[in-house]
A = this chain, B = another copy of it.
Amino acid sequence: MTEPLKVGVAGLGTVGASVVRVLKQKADAIAARAGRPIVVTAVSARDRGRNRGLDLDGVAWHMDPAQLARSKDVDVVVELIGGAEGAARACVETAIEFKRPVVTANKALLARHGVSIARSAEEADVPVGFEAAVAGGVPVIKTLREGLAGNDVTRVIGILNGTCNYILTRMEHDRIGFAECLSDAQKLGYAEADPTFDVGGFDAAHKLALLTSLAFGTETDVDGIYVEGITSITPFDLEMAEELGYRVKLLGVTTRTSGGIEQRVHLAMLPRDSAIARVDGVTNAVEIDADVVGALVLAGPGAGGDATASAVIADIVDIARGVKTPVFGVPAAKLAHPKRAPMGTHEGGYYIRLSVLDRPGAAAAIATRMAEQRISLRSIVQRGREPNFDRPSVEPVAVVLITYATNEAALRAALDAIEADGHIDGVPQVIRIEKR
């Protein structure tokens, strides 16, 4: 057996602590798989005094992660600090400068600076592993980067944020509102005190940016992603979805269209018997459609210290085995500059919930505005209160429209016209229907 591989872990949160613990507990088994012992020789974290339940005897402590990355004690740098800039970025860039392989769970950093990191990693001839950055312990990066080398990917759809999927699953199951559900999720530790990053769709967008680059061989383009969060969802929408044969998920979707690459994160209705629709709770799942293999589905724990540590350790073992795959599957110089398909050209069906003021001509006006944009309606459902046959109510009534495939620009034009007509109250709820 050759020399041990010396690992420096920057960031000792739940994931970092789990990485250190598992590498020690399973040292023999991991050495057998890696072909050499793997030893944590250095760590870095802000608070040295905190009890993390780790035996760090003989492990060098660096206050500065970049210092750890420069240290002679370290062959591989594991960055688990997080954030697109600052200490995390400095740590990764220093490691590459010193020709040390990097393993990171940092989706924000790679979504923002992945291309320049890939370029400098190639110049330094060091691998960068980031399995842990997307879908926690699910090997979706490995599958896209290595397992589909003979394929052209056509679409990737994924449940990429466990917090959102937990909230949607519970709202559906317990028929409670978004705010109550979010507050529960925060109490249970499934949501942050400031939940914006998760429920606003931004976390999923960072992950989607990485999947897009791997799927289509393009430069990461996180600013090209259309992002909506889940805060507008109501129990009524979830009930209607159920009745119509759908389930509602926060999806990240990336597809090639004739107009370019369409990247989007938003609530979507999926046929209830599709594999992704059935994924509940904090589980993550990704479906990859590719021309040679067909459709693959991968699902598993998308978060949590141990599940994420599992992905980090797999990347470290790949490095110990000498695996050196280009960061985004092809050399950085070959990554294409992505042409963005504008959201207006998105094609698909829509669920639309309108709060319609119940007065003569409202229904006719709405139908006319849809027809003007050549949008065909598959169904119209009116709900929300008991019908009153004596006279129209002064209270608005919920009307749900399901459209056949149309495009987003036409739909937006129709909704603008309907709003301008003054027949509706508040903002229309629009949920895209994703094809199986």
A60 within 8 A of B: no
Q: Which of A313-358 contact B (CB under 8 A)?
A: 313-314, 316-318, 321-326, 329-331, 334
Q: Which of A26, A150, A301 is most buried by chain B, counting CB atoms within 10 A of its CB? A: A150
Q: Would you give 13 A-B contacts (Cβ < 8 Å), ordered by A? A: A23-B150, A33-B326, A35-B331, A139-B142, A139-B143, A142-B147, A146-B317, A149-B314, A151-B310, A293-B307, A298-B298, A321-B325, A323-B323
A56 within 8 A of B: no
Distance of A292 Cα from B273 Cα, bound (Å): 30
Task: Establish whether residues B330 and A32, one from each chain, have CB atoms under 8 Å apart when the complex forms.
Answer: yes
Q: How far is the CB of A238 from chain B (nearest CB, A)?
A: 18
Which residues on the B side are within 8 Å of A151 (C-beta)?
310
Q: Which of A136-195 contact B (CB under 8 A)?
A: 137-139, 142-143, 146-152
A84 within 8 A of B: no
- Residues of chain A at the chain B interface (Cβ within 8 Å): 18, 22-23, 26, 29-30, 32-35, 131, 137-139, 142-143, 146-152, 217, 273, 275, 278, 290, 292-301, 304, 306-307, 309-314, 316-318, 321-326, 329-331, 334
Task: Establish whether residues A150 and B309, one from each chain, have CB atoms under 8 Å apart when the complex forms.
Answer: yes
- Pick the contact of A299 from B296, B318, B329, B331 — CB < 8 Å? B296
Q: How far is the CB of A338 from chain B (nearest CB, A)?
A: 16
- Pick the contact of A310 from B35, B150, B304, B329 — CB < 8 Å? B150
Distance of A139 Cα from B138 Cα, bound (Å): 12
- Contacts A33-B330, A146-B323, A292-B309 known; 13 new A-B pairs at CB < 8 A: A22-B292, A23-B150, A26-B152, A32-B217, A33-B149, A139-B139, A142-B146, A146-B314, A290-B310, A292-B313, A293-B301, A293-B310, A295-B300
Given contacts A142-B146, A146-B318, contact A292 B310 (CB under 8 A): yes
Given contacts A22-B292, A139-B142, A292-B307, contact A149 B30 (CB under 8 A): yes
Which residues on the B side are within 8 Å of A297 (C-beta)?
297-300
Task: Establish whether residues A138 and B296, one from each chain, have CB atoms under 8 Å apart when the complex forms.
Answer: yes
Distance of A330 Cα from B31 Cα, bound (Å): 9
Distance of A313 Cα from B230 Cα, bound (Å): 40
The 3 closest A-B pairs by CB, nearest first: A150-B313, A149-B317, A137-B293
Task: Establish whether residues A26 and B317, one from each chain, have CB atoms under 8 Å apart when the complex forms.
Answer: no
Distance of A65 Cα from B130 Cα, bound (Å): 40
Distance of A30 Cα from B149 Cα, bound (Å): 6
Task: Establish whether residues B317 and A137, one from each chain, have CB atoms under 8 Å apart when the complex forms.
Answer: no
Distance of A311 Cα from B151 Cα, bound (Å): 10
With both beta carbons as reference points, the residue of chain B lying nearest to A308 in the complex is identified as B293
Distance of A74 Cα from B301 Cα, bound (Å): 42
Task: Establish whether residues B324 and A321, one from each chain, have CB atoms under 8 Å apart when the complex forms.
Answer: yes
Q: How far is the CB of A232 from chain B (nearest CB, A)?
A: 29
Task: Establish whether residues B29 and A152, one from each chain, have CB atoms under 8 Å apart when the complex forms.
Answer: yes
Which residues on the B side are within 8 Å of A149 (C-beta)?
30, 33-34, 313-314, 316-318
Task: Establish whether residues A150 and B32, one from each chain, have CB atoms under 8 Å apart when the complex forms.
Answer: no
Task: Establish whether residues A137 and B310, one from each chain, have CB atoms under 8 Å apart when the complex forms.
Answer: no
Distance of A217 Cα from B28 Cα, bound (Å): 13
With both beta carbons as reference points, the residue of chain B lying nearest to A305 in the complex is identified as B292
Which residues on the B side are within 8 Å of A150 (C-beta)?
22-23, 26, 30, 309-310, 312-314, 317
Q: How far is the CB of A308 from chain B (nearest CB, A)?
A: 9
Q: Which of A131, A151, A316 is most buried by chain B, counting CB atoms within 10 A of its CB? A: A151
Q: How far is the CB of A337 from chain B (nearest CB, A)?
A: 15
Distance of A419 Cα from B382 Cα, bound (Å): 62
Distance of A137 Cα from B275 Cα, bound (Å): 17
Q: How far is the CB of A435 from chain B (nearest CB, A)?
A: 18
Distance of A299 Cα from B152 Cα, bound (Å): 19
Distance of A297 Cα from B334 Cα, bound (Å): 33
Distance of A151 Cα from B18 Cα, bound (Å): 12
Q: How far is the CB of A45 from chain B (nearest CB, A)?
A: 21
Which residues on the B side are within 8 Å of A304 (C-beta)?
294
